[in-house]
Amino acid sequence: MLKERYFKAFFVYGGCNLVLAASAAAICAYVAPAAAGSGIPEVKAYLNGVDAYSILAPSTLFVKIFGSILGVSAGFVLGKEGPMVHTGACIANLLGQGGSRKYHLTCNWLRYFKNDRDRRDLITCGSAAGVAAAFRAPVGGVLFALEEAASWWRSALLWRTFFTTAVVAVVLRGLIEFCRSGKCGLFGQGGLIMFDLSSTIATYSTPDLIAIIVLGIIGGIFGGLFNFLLDKILRVYSIINERGAPFKILLTITISIVTSMCSYGLPWLAACTPCPADAVEQCPTISRSGNYKNFQCPQGYYNDLASLFFNTNDDAIRNLFSNGTANEFRMSSLFIFFTAIYCLGLVTYGVAVPSGLFIPVILAGATYGRIVGTLLGSISDLDPGLFALLGAASFLGGTMRMTVSVCVILLELTNDLPMLPLVMLVLLISKTIADNFNKGVYDQIVVMKGFPYMEAHAEPYMRHLVAGDVVSGPLITFSGVEKVGNIVHALRITGHNGFPVVDEPPITETPELVGLVTRSHLLVLLNSKNFMKGQVKTSGSFVLRRFGAFDFAKPGSGKGLKIEDLDFTDEEMDMYVDLHPITNTSPYTVVETMSLAKAAILFRELGLRHLLVVPKTPDRPPIVGILTRHDFMPEHIHSLFPNLNPHKYHSASMAG
């Protein structure tokens, strides 16, 4: 560019971006397709009880780390914050299952975590660590895990996530101190977000509050529109991505070319601006990051649009947040930049590259915040840099629908505590406005990916039904001492993971419910082949002698026994096995006449997988059926009761 070879410069710039983008898409499409996107919806679904295929596998972790490095380097309008949350969850999952046997990374002392609750807690800590690392916001990380990620929370988890994020903060601080001398490139200088606005004096009056309310309303409208358009674009992308890996790579390459053309072409629309006489840093900028990019301008001038496009995303945000720079950016340049970032942010999320939404949203919000600050400069005394901060908060509130965690993250990022009331106000306004249009962006993606996510509240139409209404399918029960052939047949013909155990005469006088036995425990018991010839109840001591506690522990992803792996002779199939020692004798039960709404809240609050439904009258079989997550889904209820329209009740409750 210095030699005015502009087309050659574009081909070098666009070519580098293309190679990096294609590399990111290739490893994502062929090695771990689950690593595409931000990963926050997947982590959120897992912590709700949905264990989707390979979302926390070691291969996903590998692709998430390197794919996100390549994606950010390729100049895409995306952030590394969502992928860092997913990365933290993947690392926690790897530790929670004692490492990976497939990759020979095992550790015996980590077996302590081999149960569902501890692994879930560990993954919650991992997601908090990801936010703390991405934003240098340890308290924000804890609040993010509480507000957005976790479905179940308990007091012990609070100090555990706090301890995790404190360790993250200490390690980060040590690395930044080490890198301050320039040993690590941009890391420690401009590569990890930190915008110190504490030097700005924020005094605000009534006219400022009017300006902030306007900003909150704009953020809510733009946020609702962003989520609406993103939903439509992702549905189109899913049709393209379903055609195979080559199409995923082709789509990514197309978006890379469009991004390169926008970021290289649009600065030509901006006029050159003379360097300010009182500029704190060198103008035009010589190094890789700075406020005053030369681009095609003569000496002593800078291109304000290039200063936003040709910086790291962190530096672009820092430029927008900077105080005392009211005249640094022209209005036309800010409008062009906002339109480009808004549109590129929409079309980039959904390609086969690990990508976060935080950075595009903060960038777009900061840009229109600065525009509003400049337009309302006559009635407001606030610096345009502070308006940029409030704009970022309003757009985050409008898209993510998070309030407390975003508020604390922004305050930790900017070190600007006097802005707390204004940030709170703008977040609440934008969230309230946007909630009238649609759900938060991550909730929308969870629905679109088909995860059976259980909301914190029961849907209104559930009040019209009872637990016995939605129990579906033939109920398969086992006797306390069951024939091996019956168990093997039931496991082969069904995908159920839990089976009620019912004792019948001659073991008891009348049929009675013993409890629930899980598929994984049955497989461990069958694999041992410790069978009996007669239908006799044992003392259960053989279980204590033959098995250790870890034999029944939850296996790692895809490592558990499968019924297809087991073979039995005809003689073994006619033998019996005592299920009493491995049966959970205190399962959660509800009466069949219990309100489905109450049953749904109980199911979610306790983090259950199975809820047994028992009869109200004593002269019937001791169990009516089992409620699983599937039975609470609107699609299932609508299939059973076509006349009961869930959406009608939902819209009525929204109107109410």
Condensed to tens digits (0 to 9), the pLDDT of residues 72-119 reads 999 999 988 889 999 999 999 888 776 555 555 566 656 566 677 888
Q: Which residue has the higher pLDDT, 102 or 281?
A: 281
Q: Give me the pLDDT at residue 650, please.
A: 45
Interhelix angle 40-48/441-448, rounded to 10 degrees, is: 70
Rounded percentage of the chain residues whose pLDDT exceeds 70:
88
pLDDT band for 656, please (50, 70, 90 cuts): very low
CA distance 388 to 384: 6
Contact (Cβ atoms closer than 8 angstroms) between residue 77 and residue 345: yes
With tokens 């290039």, the residue in question is 306
CB count in 10 Å sphere of residue 418: 15
Say if residue 399 is exposed, middle or buried (CB neighbours under 10 Å; 0-12, 13-18, 19+).
Answer: buried
Among 5-14, 138-147, 296-305, where is mean pLDDT lowest? 296-305
DSSP 3-state of 589: strand
Q: Is-cis flag, bond preceding 284, omega within 30?
A: yes
Per-residue pLDDT, averaged over 216-227, amounts to 95
Report DSSP state, residue 584: B
Which residues are CB-neighbours of 286 under 8 A, at least 6 positions away?
Answer: none
Question: Does the pLDDT at position 494 exceed 80?
Answer: yes
Long-range contacts of 193-196, Cβ-Cβ distance < 8 Å, separation of 24 or more: 193/134, 193/135, 193/136, 193/314, 193/317, 193/413, 194/136, 194/413, 195/317, 195/318, 195/321, 195/389, 195/413, 195/414, 196/414, 196/415
pLDDT in tens, 304-356: 898 889 888 888 888 888 877 777 888 999 999 999 999 999 999 989 999 99
Q: Give me the pLDDT at residue 526, please.
A: 87
pLDDT in tens, 350-359: 899 999 999 8
pLDDT band for 645, please (50, 70, 90 cuts): low
CA distance 13 to 75: 10
The alpha-carbon radius of gyration of the chain (Å, integer) is: 29
Rounded percentage of the chain residues whose pLDDT exceeds 90:
42
Of the segments 58-67, 184-193, 413-422, which one has the largest average pLDDT value?
A: 58-67
Q: If we measure between CA atoms, which residue out of 550, 578, 560 comes closest to residue 523? A: 560
Question: Does the pLDDT at position 151 exceed 60?
Answer: yes
Question: Does the pLDDT at position 654 exceed 50?
Answer: no
Q: If we measure between CA atoms, which residue out of 144, 197, 136 comes closest to residue 171? A: 136
Q: Give me the pLDDT at residue 557, please.
A: 56
Q: Give me the pLDDT at residue 219, please.
A: 94
Q: Give me the pLDDT at residue 652, please.
A: 36
Q: What's the CA dihedral at 591, 592, 595, 597 to 10 degrees? A: 90
Contact (Cβ atoms closer than 8 angstroms) between residue 58 and residue 85: no
Q: Give me the pLDDT at residue 380, please.
A: 76
Q: Give me the pLDDT at residue 295, please.
A: 82
Contact (Cβ atoms closer than 8 angstroms) between residue 466 and residue 593: yes
Of the segments 254-263, 376-385, 534-543, which one has the largest average pLDDT value?
A: 254-263
Q: Give me the pLDDT at residue 294, please.
A: 81
pTM of the model: 0.88
Q: Is-cis flag, bond preceding 354, omega within 30?
A: no
pLDDT band for 648, please (50, 70, 90 cuts): very low
Go through 366-381 and write b for each residue having 16 or more CB atoms within 10 A of its CB, e for each that does not: bbbbbbbbbebeeebe
Q: Give me the pLDDT at residue 317, please.
A: 87
Q: Give me the pLDDT at residue 288, please.
A: 65
Sign of torsion over alpha carbons 152, 153, 159, 164: positive
Q: If we measure between CA atoms, which residue out of 584, 640, 635, 577 comes closest to residue 609? A: 584
Contact (Cβ atoms closer than 8 angstroms) between residue 32 and residue 63: yes
pLDDT band for 541, please (50, 70, 90 cuts): low
Among 12-21, 323-332, 512-521, 566-575, where is mean pLDDT lowest? 323-332
Q: If we measure between CA atoms, which residue out of 112, 83, 86 comes closest to residue 97? A: 112
Contact (Cβ atoms closer than 8 angstroms) between residue 387 and residue 416: no
CA distance 559 to 120: 18
User: What mean pLDDT, rounded, does the chain reach?
Assistant: 85
Sign of torsion over alpha carbons 183, 186, 187, 190: positive
pLDDT in tens, 545-568: 676 666 666 665 556 678 887 888
Q: Give me the pLDDT at residue 336, please.
A: 94
pLDDT in tens, 414-456: 888 888 889 999 999 999 999 999 999 999 999 998 888 988 8
Q: Give me the pLDDT at residue 461, please.
A: 86
Among 101-105, 113-117, 153-157, 576-580, where is mean pLDDT lowest? 101-105
Report DSSP state, residue 580: G
Report DSSP state, residue 499: E
Q: If we measure between CA atoms, which residue out of 356, 454, 451, 337 comes closest to residue 399? A: 356
CA distance 161 to 636: 36
CA distance 387 to 203: 13
pLDDT band for 649, please (50, 70, 90 cuts): very low
Q: Which residue has the higher pLDDT, 301 or 202?
A: 301
Q: If we measure between CA atoms, which residue out of 513, 538, 142, 209 comes closest to residue 390? A: 209
Token code pair at residue 47: 């912590």
Per-residue pLDDT, averaged over 467-496, amounts to 87
DSSP string, 433-475: HHHTT---HHHHHHHHTT--PPPSS--GGGGG-BHHHH--S--
Question: Does the pLDDT at position 655 exceed 50?
Answer: no
CB count in 10 Å sphere of residue 30: 14
